A and B are shown apart, each in its own frame.
Chain A
Amino acid sequence: MKIRHIFVAVVVLLALFGMLLMVAELPPYGSADNPGQNMVAQRYINDALEDTGVPNMVTAVVLDYRAYDTMFETIVLFTAALAVVVALKPAEEEGDDA
């Protein structure tokens, strides 16, 4: 076994140790005072109809509160389609320059 392999193993173990330490620090799952269950969700539930005028709360979040996110989601789709077309499209006949 080369020295490089031992080095990689030590680094991986250290990273694993750090991740496990972080897991130990996580709050209990489903607890009411978790940071994830803050006032944001409550705000959406209470004010979505008034703020956006649509009864479908998912659409209100996706297309109004988080419209930036959805915008770049569509750009992700665009990029995915572009990548597939560039990678798989059969080349046109040999051009003048290539």
Chain B
Amino acid sequence: MRDFILKRMIAVILAFIFVYGFYVILHGHISPGGSFAGGIIVSLSFIAFATVYGIDKGKEKLPEKFLVWVESYGTLWYGLMGLVGICKGAPFLANKLAGIDLGVPGTLSSGGLIGLIGFGVGIRVASTMITLFYTLMEGDA
């Protein structure tokens, strides 16, 4: 797939898909959508890039080492967010019980830890999907 029209189209819309994915991740707690769906959209932008421009160029843009890094530390990030509750004398992964300010419902910074946890889950889902795609493409070639 080295079509000129396809390449130019992807070059135009790729950034919008990417930004929209992060929008869905970051607004997961105040709008329909969520971190899993947003992570899939972010990964789709890179999968489209790697499909059209070739897997090697995709790996130049987003090296596998970085993906592995995100994947591992995303899980750790979730655990660290859980430890915030313990440090404040509340159960693991506690949010309101730990005395965190929940903010005004409906604003981006509301929800205490929920937004931070959602961001971690979102980038983890994205990196997992891209890793699976890279691996399956390589096995095919």
Binding site for B on A (CB under 8 A): 49, 51-56, 58-60, 62-64, 67-68, 70-71, 74-75, 77-78, 80-81, 84-85, 88-90
Main secondary structure on A side of the interface with B: helix
**CB-defined contacts of B135 to chain A, threshold 8 Å:** 84-85, 88-89
For the complex, count residues of B whose C-beta is within 8 A of A.
Answer: 38
B71 contacts A78, CB within 8 Å? yes
A53 contacts B34, CB within 8 Å? no
B117 contacts A53, CB within 8 Å? no
**CB-defined contacts of A71 to chain B, threshold 8 Å:** 78-79, 82, 93
Does B55 count as interface, using CB distance less than 8 angstroms?
no
A74 contacts B75, CB within 8 Å? yes
**CB-defined contacts of B132 to chain A, threshold 8 Å:** 80-81, 84
Give A5 to B102 CA distance when docked, in angstroms. Answer: 63
Least Cβ–Cβ distance between A23 and chain B, in angstroms: 33
**CB-defined contacts of B114 to chain A, threshold 8 Å:** 52-54, 59-60, 63-64
A77 contacts B124, CB within 8 Å? yes
